[in-house]
């Protein structure tokens, strides 16, 4: 059906060009809101009506007449109908819908993938400073960021996953002081305990390993402790490496791997921050006022100009961000996506203004942002706020330990990033259809169960007579498969469960059984592909008892 849809879309474009040559309209297909209305729908007639000064239904009829002469329409379409104010509904021939099963079986894990086109995209996500374990908010970033990366890869992009963090700021200094206090035998609540210190139990673990002169190795650094309680620089370096290693363990448990780590400190040691400020000054985009250096961000849509360098000579926090994104552009990443919390909303306008003002020809809207809201964790009907290990928040590791990696990844990427989300631990543990990840994985496992009961060679299904797939539930499932990868995984699973309830597969008619098993194989493959996008496994068995075929 993918081929049929592509050919029909070309026919529709030709019809639009014939009816309104100067319209400049790029038509598209939609899915009708009700299955009874057809298989595909188009709103082009309503879009063309005003410029043509005609009734939309009249334009719709003209588009239908223009398409009727197209070979693709004659091959794949049973009927075209005008509905409502000017919708065109397409009813496809059974062969068009049946073809998708063969396409899935042929392409397997490459079904829905686009050819490589040479485009490079960087997705920056998680980017947590190494001052403590990763919290649930970082987990949502990891789930969203990794899924975005996987999606771009399916569309032919060369993807780089980058983790950016500060290894030398005020928070890192506080980490060093906190660890030193633990090394000296102090603990939270003691009179001499630093007021701003981190209170989590992980600080005590770092202190113990420092005194033991251990070596810690993270993906991007390695350090051996001196064991000297007075060596604050060694303590700081060891604590950073220790927590980067801990973050690596969190990410490994979550199934996320980064291609590159970028240190904020490198922007200063390489003079990139100073060079960026000099470039903006030379471009005439700055001014001095009240002893401070300002950037004219209002020239680029910001609501007010912003201070770059304060009167005490220090830079405001968005200046290294501008230098960092100029570095991204300089590395050839013309497409950049940052996955961050909604607390970063205020930095978007000033960062974009800075990179445009630098005179590098960087377009408006660079970089792109996906901002996510935080996650509320519920367990036993109550909100969970405190982790003994972290001292003040639920960690990503806690969530994985309480449930599973699959549940956490699925749940944290199952809602739009900018919506509030409640992670219900009890729901994530349920082994029934109330649990959305179980629901989808169970669809895959059910198919595996049927194929196991059949016991035949799955390669033999490649030549199944798909014209026998004529039941309404089969047609509905075929349409869902054809909509991949645009369709949500859960919607695919819902269509399969409906089919599973409506039809039997291991019937006496060998040809029909083979056709239905081929459809099951195709469904299993699409579920597996879609779950892989989310970084979720596709189990062949589930704890819930399988029904018979």
pLDDT value of position 508: 85
Q: Is residue 393 domain-shared with residue 491, that is, in the same domain?
A: no
Q: Is residue 258 domain-shared with residue 341, that is, in the same domain?
A: no
The one-digit pLDDT tens for each residue of the chain (549 residues) are 778 888 999 999 999 999 999 888 888 888 888 888 899 999 999 999 999 999 999 999 999 999 998 999 999 999 999 999 999 999 999 999 999 999 999 999 998 888 899 999 999 999 999 999 999 999 999 999 999 999 888 888 999 999 999 998 899 999 999 999 999 999 999 999 999 999 989 999 999 999 999 999 999 999 999 999 999 999 999 999 999 999 999 999 999 999 999 999 999 999 999 999 999 999 999 999 999 999 999 999 888 999 999 999 999 989 999 999 999 999 999 999 999 999 888 899 999 999 999 988 999 899 999 999 989 999 999 999 866 666 678 899 999 999 999 999 999 988 888 888 999 999 999 999 899 999 999 999 999 999 999 998 888 999 999 999 999 899 889 988 888 745 533 334 555 666 777 777 788 888 999 999 999 999 999 999 999 989 999 999 886 543 444
The answer for 455, left when phi > 0, alpha when psi is -120 to 50, beta otherwise, is left
pLDDT value of position 548: 40
Query: Contact 133/113 with Cβ under 8 angstroms?
Result: no
Residue 473 in any domain: the answer is: yes
SS3 percent helix, strand, coil of the chain, rounded to 5, is 50, 15, 35
SS3 label, residue 322: helix
Question: Which domain-ending residue is among 408, 429, 450?
Answer: 429
Residue whose pair of structure tokens reads 């201070």 in the numeric block: 307
Tell which residue, 412, 336, 423, 421, has the closest CA to residue 138.
412
Residue 117 in any domain: the answer is: no
Q: Is residue 11 domain-shared with residue 151, that is, in the same domain?
A: no
Q: Is residue 81 domain-shared with residue 48, that is, in the same domain?
A: yes
Q: What angle do CA 303, 304, 308 make, to 5 degrees?
A: 130
Q: Is residue 87 domain-shared with residue 159, that is, in the same domain?
A: no
pLDDT value of position 490: 37
Q: Residue 59 to residues 15, 51, 88: CA-CA distances in angstroms?
A: 11, 11, 10
pLDDT value of position 544: 59
Write the DSSP string, 408-450: HHHHHTSS-TTS-EEEEHHHHH--STTSHHHHHHHHHHHHHHH
| H or E stretch at 76 | helix 71-76
pLDDT value of position 387: 63
Residue 98 in any domain: the answer is: no
Residue 110 in any domain: the answer is: no
Q: How far apart are CA 18 and CA 69, in angstroms?
A: 12
Question: Which domain-ending residue is among 409, 429, 449?
Answer: 429
Cβ partners under 8 Å of residue 88, min gap 6:
41, 42, 44, 45, 60, 63, 64, 80, 81, 82
Q: Is residue 359 domain-shared with residue 297, that is, in the same domain?
A: yes
Q: How far apart are CA 178 and CA 170, in angstroms?
A: 12
Residue 543 in any domain: the answer is: no
Bridge pairing between strands 292-295 and 286-289: antiparallel
Q: Is residue 452 domain-shared with residue 498, that is, in the same domain?
A: yes
Q: What are phi and psi of 66, to 5 degrees?
A: -70, -35
Residue 544 in any domain: the answer is: no
Q: Is residue 158 domain-shared with residue 249, that is, in the same domain?
A: yes
Q: Is residue 288 domain-shared with residue 252, that is, in the same domain?
A: no
Tell which residue, 521, 494, 476, 381, has the closest CA to residue 440.
494
Report the CATH number that the domain containing residue 263 is assigned in CATH: 3.40.50.620
Question: Which domain-ending residue is among 353, 372, 391?
Answer: 372
C-alpha 8: how far from chain center: 30
Residue 161 in any domain: the answer is: yes
Q: What is the dihedral of CA 275, 276, 279, 280, to 10 degrees?
A: -150
Write the DSSP string, 349-380: HHHHHHHHHTTS-PPTTPSEEEEE--EEEEET
Residue 405 in any domain: the answer is: yes
Q: How far apart are CA 495 and CA 489, in angstroms?
A: 10
Query: Contact 270/260 with Cβ under 8 angstroms?
Result: no
Which domain, by its residues, includes 487?
436-533
User: Taking the CB of residue 312, how many other CB atoms lie within 10 A of it?
Assistant: 7
Q: Is residue 355 domain-shared with residue 415, that is, in the same domain?
A: no
Burial class (CB in 10 A: 0-12, 13-18, 19+), 207: buried
Report the CATH number that the domain containing residue 39 is assigned in CATH: 3.30.1360.70
Query: Contact 496/440 with Cβ under 8 angstroms?
Result: no
Report the CATH number that the domain containing residue 445 is assigned in CATH: 1.10.730.10
- DSSP 8-class letter at 36: G
pTM of the model: 0.85
Q: Is residue 387 domain-shared with residue 254, that is, in the same domain?
A: yes
Give me the number of domains the chain comprises. 4
Q: Is residue 234 domain-shared with residue 321, that is, in the same domain?
A: no
């Amino acid at each position: 059906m993918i081929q049929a849809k592509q050919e029909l879309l070309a026919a529709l474009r030709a019809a639009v060009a014939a009816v309104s040559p100067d319209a400049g309209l790029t038509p598209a297909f939609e899915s009708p809101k009700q299955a009874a209305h057809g298989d595909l729908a188009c709103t082009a007639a309503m879009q063309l009506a005003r410029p043509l000064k005609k009734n939309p239904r009249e334009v719709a009829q003209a588009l239908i007449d223009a398409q009727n002469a197209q070979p693709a329409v004659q091959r794949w379409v049973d009927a075209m109908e005008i509905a409502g104010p000017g919708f065109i509904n397409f009813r496809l021939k059974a062969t068009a819908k049946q073809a998708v099963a063969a396409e899935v079986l042929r392409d397997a894990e490459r079904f829905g993938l686009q050819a490589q086109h040479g485009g490079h995209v960087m997705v920056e996500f998680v980017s947590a400073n190494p001052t403590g374990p990763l919290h649930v908010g970082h987990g949502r970033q990891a789930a969203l960021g990794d899924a975005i990366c996987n999606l771009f890869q399916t569309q032919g992009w060369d993807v780089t996953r980058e983790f950016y963090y500060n290894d030398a700021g005020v928070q890192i200094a506080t980490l060093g002081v906190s660890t030193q206090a633990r090394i000296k035998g102090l603990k939270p609540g003691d009179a001499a305990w630093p007021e701003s210190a981190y209170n989590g139990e992980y600080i005590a673990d770092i202190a113990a390993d420092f005194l033991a002169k251990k070596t810690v190795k993270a993906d991007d650094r390695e350090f051996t402790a001196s064991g000297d309680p007075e060596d604050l620089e060694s303590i700081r370096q060891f604590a950073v490496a220790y927590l980067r290693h801990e973050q690596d363990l969190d990410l490994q448990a979550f199934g996320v791997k980064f291609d590159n780590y970028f240190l904020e400190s490198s922007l200063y040691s390489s003079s990139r921050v100073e060079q960026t400020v000099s470039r903006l000054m030379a471009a005439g985009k700055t001014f001095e006022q009240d002893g401070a250096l300002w950037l004219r961000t209002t020239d680029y849509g910001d609501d007010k100009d912003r201070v770059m360098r304060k009167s005490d000579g220090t830079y405001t926090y968005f200046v290294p961000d501008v230098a960092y994104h100029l570095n991204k552009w300089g590395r050839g990443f013309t497409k950049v996506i940052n996955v961050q919390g909604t607390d970063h909303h205020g930095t978007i306008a000033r960062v974009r203004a800075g990179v445009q003002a630098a005179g590098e020809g960087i377009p408006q809207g660079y970089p792109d942002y996906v901002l996510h809201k935080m996650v509320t964790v519920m367990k036993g009907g109550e909100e969970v706020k405190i982790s003994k290990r972290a001292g003040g928040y639920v960690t990503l590791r806690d969530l994985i330990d309480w449930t599973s990696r699959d549940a956490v990844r699925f749940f944290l990427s199952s809602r739009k990033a900018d919506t509030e989300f409640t992670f219900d631990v009890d729901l994530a543990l349920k082994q029934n259809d109330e649990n959305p990840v179980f629901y989808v994985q169970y669809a895959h496992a059910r198919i595996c169960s049927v194929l196991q009961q059949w016991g035949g060679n799955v390669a033999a299904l490649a030549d199944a007579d798909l014209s026998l797939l004529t039941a309404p539930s089969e047609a509905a499932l075929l349409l869902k498969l054809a909509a991949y990868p645009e369709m949500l995984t859960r919607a695919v699973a819902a269509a399969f469960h409906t089919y599973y309830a409506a039809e039997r597969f291991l019937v006496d008619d060998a040809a029909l059984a083979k056709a239905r098993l081929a459809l099951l194989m195709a469904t299993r493959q699409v579920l597996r592909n879609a779950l892989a996008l989310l970084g979720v496994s596709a189990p062949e068995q589930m704890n819930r008892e399988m029904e018979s075929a």
